[in-house]
Structure 1
Amino acid sequence: MARGITETDVHIAADELVAAGERPTVERIRAHLGTGSPNTVTRHLETWWQGLGRRLHVQHVRLAVPDAPEVVTALAGEWWERALEAARAECTQALAIERSTLLKDHEALNEERARLAVESSALRAELDAARHSLQVAQVQATEQQRLIDQLQHQTRELAQQRDVALARSKELEVAREALQGHLQRAEDSARAERESLTQHLRATEDRAHAEVDRARQEAKELSSKLSTLAKERASVERRHRDQLETARVATADIQQELAGQRARADGLEAQLESLRNLPIALEAALRTQNSAGAKVERKKTKIRSGSGTP
């Protein structure tokens, strides 16, 4: 990781510039270090200038040994210069290592910035896609809510129509039951009347058969009397003709009555048959009425839809 320059870094750089015969300035120190902000270098260079006089005085005191021979003083100065050069070399090497480290950290920082820029671009693209997806989802949710409201409205209308249809069905069921009861009573009445007519017809037929048998018996008796009573033949024949004519008239009346009874029975049978077909006719009439009612409801619905009535 890159780090900021310290006061020691600036002081060492200033000493090295002085040793190289250059006057330390902010630009030269920054160029010598390869980094550092102008404000920081300026502040640390000020402290270097402030401590320069004290350091020179200390060095002068150390070199100025009282009563020391000139050779000793020269050797001491030479050793001091060599010590300074060794210190400068060590500082220069450390500074080079520090610069290399700073350059590597700077390159790593640039690479990290580039990677973060790529990641930031990808995140922006993902964010834009997510925003677009959110907008699409909101639009879809709005449309789905509209469809749900429409379906709920249609469901309420269908429920109302169902209730009306159920009420109408109950009314028709009551009417059908009433008609069924009326039809049942009519069938029972027709059945009873038919049975009565059948019994009457049978009784009439029995009477007619009895009359015919009696007339036959009388005819036999007359025939036997004719064979024995030749003298009374003419009178007997006249009486027999009269009786036969009476029997024929009676038989014709009976047959006419039988024909009338049969015609009445056929009429009752036709009425009974029509009463049997009455439920079918009623069912057809109810279906026709329901169809007409459905057409009227559809027309009303179309009229309401055309007028915008909900």
Structure 2
Amino acid sequence: MPRGITQDQVNAAADAILGAGENPTVEKVRAQLGTGSPNTVTRMLDAWRGQLGERLRQLSALPELPTPVGQAMMGLWQLATEHASQATAGRFAEEHAALETARSTLATERQDWTARLEAAETERARTQAAKDLAEHACTTLDAQLQDSHALRADLAQQRDRLQAQCDQLAAELQGLRAQLAEEQQAAAAERARQETYVRNVEDRAHQEVDRLRQDVKQWQQRLESVERSHRGAETALLAEQGSLRDQLRGSERELARYAGLVAGLEKALSKQVKPKPKKLPAPGRAQHPGHSKHASK
């Protein structure tokens, strides 16, 4: 409602319009005042009309008022009453039309809000279903996570066990290599001893060839016997060396198989757990080609 408008201002503006010979209407009063809402001006103008009748009756009851003036005032009152009735009927028609328009608008808005409410209810049901599905998915993921943790622990235990086996095999391989080296050294020493013995025998034979010419055949037989024994011992040592080499190769293949198994388990573990753990190098794996080459020689 505009600020500053009073009943006295509306009464003064209506009196001025009526004194100018015009019918006081809401638009004219607002134009006279320069402000005021239509509803407020209408209400105050109705109050002015109610006061106007009383004022006219008071004027007509004065004994000193001339008869023509009283008749003119009565005519003016009738004219004002007729105009007020027409204005009231027009205003009622306008308000009725506005009321019908508002009622239609409210019906349309009600239908719209009903549709929105149904859509919101459908969306709420869909959201509730999505929430239930998400909660079920979360429960499933929690169970899978627990299984993943258990699998991770099991894989870690298997990795530790295989690592221990690899360490044990590496130690055994190292022992076999040390044993092979000792046996090779022993074979070399035996070969050197036999060669020294043969050389000594040959030297003695050459020194005594003149003196022991008659015994040459006997010494030759003994020499052949010694050589056969030497060849038999050398053959046995070579056979034993080949057997040890085969055992070494088998151990290296077994170690390589365990190293591959460890690598596979670490790869499977890395797929289950993030960030990816560093791959542990297989112990002694980088030394295999050198040792295999030495063994093949």
Instruction: Report the counterpart of residue 183 of structure 1 in structure 2.
Output: 166
Instruction: Report the counterpart of residue 110 of structure 2 in structure 1.
Output: 127
Query: What are structure 2's unaligned runs of at least 5 residues?
Result: 1-41, 57-65, 270-297
Partner Cα distance (2:73, 2:145) in 1: 102
User: What does the per-residue CA deviation read over 1:65-100, in whole Å, with 9 as the maximum and x for residues that have no partner?
Assistant: xxxxxxxxxxxxxxxxxx666534431222112211
Higher relative helix content: 1
Partner Cα distance (1:234, 1:126) in 2: 144
Given that 1:204 and 1:254 are in contact with CA atoms closer than 8 Å, whether structure 2 keeps it comes out as no
Structure 1 SS opposite 2:236: helix
User: What does the per-residue CA deviation read over 1:209-263, in whole Å, with 9 as the maximum and x for residues that have no partner?
Assistant: 221133124313322432xx1x53231x213312321331222122122222212
Tell me which moved more, 185-194 or 133-142: 185-194
Partner Cα distance (2:164, 2:152) in 1: 18
Partner Cα distance (1:153, 1:182) in 2: 43
Q: Which one of 146, 163, 166 corresponds to residue 149 of structure 2? A: 166
Instruction: Report the counterpart of residue 246 of structure 2 in structure 1.
Output: 267
Given that 2:159 and 2:265 are in contact with CA atoms closer than 8 Å, whether structure 1 keeps it comes out as no
RMSD in angstroms over aligned alpha carbons?
3.7
Q: TM-score normalised to the size of structure 2?
A: 0.61
Partner Cα distance (1:232, 1:3) in 2: 172
Partner Cα distance (1:97, 1:285) in 2: 108
Question: AA paired with 2:132?
Answer: D
Q: Does 1:233 align with 2:213?
A: yes
Q: Does 1:279 align with 2:279?
A: no
Partner Cα distance (2:177, 2:162) in 1: 22
Q: TM-score normalised to the size of structure 1?
A: 0.59
Question: AA paired with 2:212?
Answer: E
Question: AA paired with 1:250?
Answer: S
Partner Cα distance (1:212, 1:160) in 2: 76
Tell me which moved more, 101-110 or 202-211: 101-110
Instruction: Report the counterpart of residue 279 of structure 2 in structure 1.
Output: none
Structure 1 segment 1-310 matched on structure 2, within 5 A: 1=42, 87-226=70-209, 229=210, 232-235=212-215, 237-280=216-259, 282-283=261-262
Partner Cα distance (2:172, 2:263) in 1: 25
Residue 173 of structure 1: CA displacement?
A: 1.9
Given that 2:187 and 2:237 are in contact with CA atoms closer than 8 Å, whether structure 1 keeps it comes out as yes
- % same residue: 15
Partner Cα distance (1:185, 1:86) in 2: 137
